[in-house]
Amino acid sequence: MILPVSSNKNNNMSVFGKDPKDKKLMYDKDTLLENTFNTRMRANYDKFTNALTIYLTKGLKGSKNANFYEFLTMGMIPYVVGSITLMSVFNSANKHFSHFAGAKASAVGRKMALGVLFYGILKSVTKSFVTTPVKWLTGVDTELPYAKVNYELPEYPSDSDITNIENHKVFESKDFPRWDLLYNKDVNKRNEYYDKVAKKLGLGDNLNDSDQEVKPLIKKIAIKTDMAKILSSYLWAAAGVCYAFQDPWLNYLNAATLKIWKPKEFIHSLKVFKRSAVDSAKSFFKGSGKGLQKHSGKIMLGVAAASSIIGVINAVVNIKNQKNDVIDKNRKSVVN
């Protein structure tokens, strides 16, 4: 990467602060990160706060440095704002209604609000229903994060704050995965990651070019995993909304409080939550009436679970039957 001249003296800059003396460079080059809960939370926090502040400001100004990553990250805003608006649409006006109509509308509105909440939670959480088993079974962590150090053009002549960090995933682009980050710096262990994956995939140990062997397979796994992850997370999210629509939730919604300074009420609401959650799960699964009306909950859950299971199976089975080798491995070749 060609660095702009001005960045040489700002090597120790952080993207978060303004005073160069106080700042420490978190990363001075693109860096592979461990996929831990902490890393994921931090990345999400950074993305969300940046989307609401820096990227929004840059976008509204029409900055020449605005990029596609920032645009995509700003996609979080409609999700969050939309969820709140949706809750509001069903609840805000209810207090102006007559008591009976207000109570009726609130019962539906609060279930809708709960549905919006469950949609978001389940959509996020259930991605791991696919990615984690795939990681266990193949050794390929399709969610592996890395920090990308981005160099920008100065906005004005004296602009020295020209670096920022973007949170990416190694396999987020299937066309251009960041293979380079997966090589070990130690020359003797250069293919360590690829060796491990090759072994896990049953290609054997001590391969001459394990990286060349497994890259196409990893790519295939990453594509299949992503597809299953996307599809199943939306189905689980839908199941979450349907779960929120069960009547026993009304017991909790009537008792719900976040006033932790009133411990008695708060603890009571937690107890009711537990009871409502269990009763709602039973009601969702067992259903009522007959035919489709009775079994729709089971179908919904079954389809969501099946999408995760089949998705994992599709991602890990039949991976090695790949015949797209560009170079004949048995033939000697010259590389200039």
Q: Which is nearer to other proteins, 13 or 241 (CB)?
A: 241
Tally of CA atoms within 13 A in the half-sphere of 59 that contains its CB: 16
Compute the least distance from the CB of residue 166 to other proteins, in Å. 12
* 12 near other proteins, rule: CB under 8 A: no
* 303 near other proteins, rule: CB under 8 A: yes
Q: Which is nearer to other proteins, 272 or 311 (CB)?
A: 311
Which of 162, 165, 237, 272: binder of other proteins (CB under 8 A)? 237
Burial class (CB in 10 A: 0-12, 13-18, 19+), 54: middle
Looking at residue 137, its amino acid is L
Q: Nearest-CA neighbor of 43 among 121, 158, 109, 124?
A: 124
Q: Which is nearer to other proteins, 91 or 251 (CB)?
A: 91
Compute the least distance from the CB of residue 273 to other proteins, in Å. 23
Instruction: Categorise residue 139: left if φ over 0, alpha if ψ from -120 to 50, beta otherwise.
Output: left
* 329 near other proteins, rule: CB under 8 A: no
In 3-state terms, what secondary structure has residue 67?
Answer: coil
- Report phi then psi at 177, rounded to 5: -65, 150
How many Cβ atoms sit within 10 Å of the Cβ of residue 142? 26
Which of 18, 21, 24, 96: binder of other proteins (CB under 8 A)? 96
**Sequential DSSP letters for 292-329:** HHHHHHHHHHHHHHHHHHHHHHHHHTT-S-----SS-T
Sequence-separated (6 or more) residues with CB below 8 Å from residue 278: none
* 49 near other proteins, rule: CB under 8 A: no
End-to-end CA distance of the chain: give it in Å, rounded.
22
Q: Which is nearer to other proteins, 127 or 272 (CB)?
A: 127
* 31 near other proteins, rule: CB under 8 A: no
> Per CB under 8 A, which of residues 242..301 are in contact with other proteins?
242, 245, 288-289, 292-293, 296-297, 300
Q: Which is nearer to other proteins, 38 or 158 (CB)?
A: 158
- d(CA 73, CA 143) in angstroms, rounded, equals 16
> Per CB under 8 A, which of residues 175..214 are in contact with other proteins?
175
Instruction: Categorise residue 287: left if φ over 0, alpha if ψ from -120 to 50, beta otherwise.
Output: left
Which of 127, 135, 168, 220: binder of other proteins (CB under 8 A)? 220
Which of 31, 39, 67, 251: binder of other proteins (CB under 8 A)? 67
Q: Which stretch binds other proteins (CB under 8 A): 8-16, 24-32, 38-46, 224-232?
A: 224-232
In 3-state terms, what secondary structure has residue 18?
Answer: coil
Task: Give Cα 53 distance to the centre of its chain.
Answer: 20
Residue span 131-170 as binding mask against other proteins, x where in contact by CB under 8 A, dash where not: ----------------------------------------
Q: Which stretch binds other proteins (CB under 8 A): 91-99, 131-139, 155-163, 178-186?
A: 91-99
Give the H or E element holding residue 163. strand 163-169
Binding site for other proteins (CB under 8 A): 55-56, 58-64, 66-68, 71, 74-75, 77-86, 89, 92-93, 96-98, 101, 105, 173-175, 219-221, 223-224, 226-227, 230-231, 233-235, 237-239, 241-242, 245, 288-289, 292-293, 296-297, 300, 303, 314-315, 319, 326-327, 336
